[in-house]
Amino acid sequence: MDDSTRSRIEALISSSPIFVFMKGSKLMPQCGFSNNVVQILHSLGVSFETFDVLSDMEIRQGIKDFSSWPTIPQVYVNGEFIGGSDILIEMYNAGELKEKLEIALAS
């Protein structure tokens, strides 16, 4: 990944306390896993920003290297990678996610 892709990723991640790299948009997710993440975040009523990796091949590949994570979606909370759709679902079911996001949004 080149420096400009890295800086763009860093700028995206720091642009919002909750940031999601996904396929498609919040309104039109293009993949079931991305849709899961959007639905979970909506159900918790938190605000978040997204980036559609299908619109940008450099970010699409770059974010996988950046996070050492081979799949999309990827969720960042206050600059920290917290996982993809499976981990988000687990955290949601365990009741951990709401608390983590509330703390992140309050800080």
Is 47 or 57 the residue whose CB approaches other proteins more closely? Answer: 57
CA dihedral of residues 35, 21, 14, 93 (deg, nearest 10): 40
Q: Which of the stretches 4-12, 14-22, 45-53, 84-92 binds other proteins when contact is defined by CB under 8 A?
A: 84-92
Q: Does 87 bind other proteins (CB under 8 A)?
A: yes
Q: Left (φ > 0), alpha (ψ -120 to 50) or beta: where does 57 sit? A: alpha
How big is the site for other proteins, counted in residues (CB under 8 A)? 16
Is 45 or 95 the residue whose CB approaches other proteins more closely? Answer: 95
**Whole-angstrom Cα distance, residue 21 to residue 9?**
10
Q: Does 39 bind other proteins (CB under 8 A)?
A: no
